[in-house]
Structure 1
């Protein structure tokens, strides 16, 4: 499977000319089609160039510490990576449609350290039916799909009592590994989504809670091997009941 969207590490490897020729060509083509990101990468390249010049000057000074440029760049890279990871922005789609993952990074910069920020962003990016990997109007179909990809998850409850029926699902990944977005819709076309993923470094166990993000509300919890979040419209009074049903079932 070809990864169309370069990761943060790959962009740094591209600057350092450490990518394999075939992947380097793919990244170069992607940057040509994304001028804003190309400008950001060029800024990194310029910073690295200035850093090399500065270190060369320091090396000529008597008694100057022999700084290892590679180690210094690695520390700078790690700081950038922690910044992205703390915002939970690596919502990269597995398979077709991975562009949304890169868009998620930029859109999530303002959401640093918010619990299950990736769930809210995944809902915004992928809750439309055209962005789903599978269409599943039967709860059994969705249960079977979920069981194939996440063996340690519980029984997905039927939400028909709250007016919601399955629409489909999308397989995702983030910095922890596989993740999934399951989408449901009522008779009026209102959609909610269930997001699940492995625990992260900051939120190893997700405390049960909720928060409003714009016009959306996220209700989140941990159970078994996964962290979960139900994302719904902030003014939808059914959110509490649906969230409790999912929490007890999963």
Structure 2
């Protein structure tokens, strides 16, 4: 059941802070799906929020500049969007925590323990890794020719999946449409430079979300995944370092706006 209540600024704020009931969250996501400019701003706020969380979780270097900067970014975002008191308080606390770590470095430990948060990835990420490995198997088989006739307009027409623009100099070695539990998925085998292979996986997971780039490790493979509206993406590699892979994924994400 959904209501006819208009989506207010407070609803958007609560969406960013994960404080909405499921029904209202669905209504907000439907609202965002029709307003890409608002969805883009929400995604920026989600990114700043999660950068702060990441900075708080990784405090191996006391008083990390990244922590203080993330807190400042969040505080500016909260002031600009007038997000409710809880999140503004979180930004302020983060500044005190950063100062506390600096004091910890100067005066010694005070009993704090490390906290590491972990969230399982969406199911489509595991499908992306499987598609990547299937492509590697195809590469080694002479009876499975590659299909490098990449036509993004044709893919969009057949699957309703919009693919990001690829950086200049990248080559599409193989382009395949795979079945998935969500319907057709697209898997591109890419060659950013001679001898390197990346896989770009895209699928419509059946839900709307605005999700910034996150990382997932699976054995020897790494996946940087994100979602824009009703299409989810994963960039998979067995050679790139996590930070580099995430940075490349963010570059691809920006081309979707």
Bin of the TM-score, shorter chain as denominator length: 0.3 to 0.5
The normalised TM-score by structure 2 is 0.43
